[in-house]
A = this chain, B = another copy of it.
Amino acid sequence: MPFVHVHMWEGRTVEQKRALTKAITDAMVEHAGANPDALHVAISEYPRENWARAGVLGIDRKDV
């Protein structure tokens, strides 16, 4: 541990995921005193039809 689970839209590039997981790991080490060797970051990606805000699916919104 710790385990950080990112839930977001699908579509980020590998390079974005590489930078993102590195930055989250750095934040966990700096601010939460995490041991990097035991720190895992996982990303779950969702199609826009599988996420709603205010009861409206992503495919039906303009702003998310």
Interface residues, chain A, with chain B CB atoms under 8 Å away: 1-9, 12, 14, 16-28, 30-46, 49-60, 63-64
Choose one: B14, B28, B43, B54; the contact of A25 (CB below 8 Å): B54
Do the beta carbons of B1 and A53 come within 8 Å of each other?
Answer: yes
Q: For A35, give the chain B residue with the smallest CB separation.
A: B64
- How many identical chains are in the complex? 6
Q: Is the interface of A mostly helix, strand, loop or mixed?
A: mixed
Docked CA distance A26–B23 (Å): 9
Do the beta carbons of B1 and A4 come within 8 Å of each other?
Answer: no
For the complex with contacts A6-B28, A23-B26, A42-B51, 19 further pairs of A-B residues with Cβ separation under 8 Å are: A1-B40, A1-B53, A2-B6, A2-B7, A2-B9, A3-B40, A4-B4, A7-B42, A17-B49, A21-B55, A21-B56, A22-B55, A23-B27, A25-B54, A27-B27, A35-B63, A37-B53, A40-B40, A44-B44
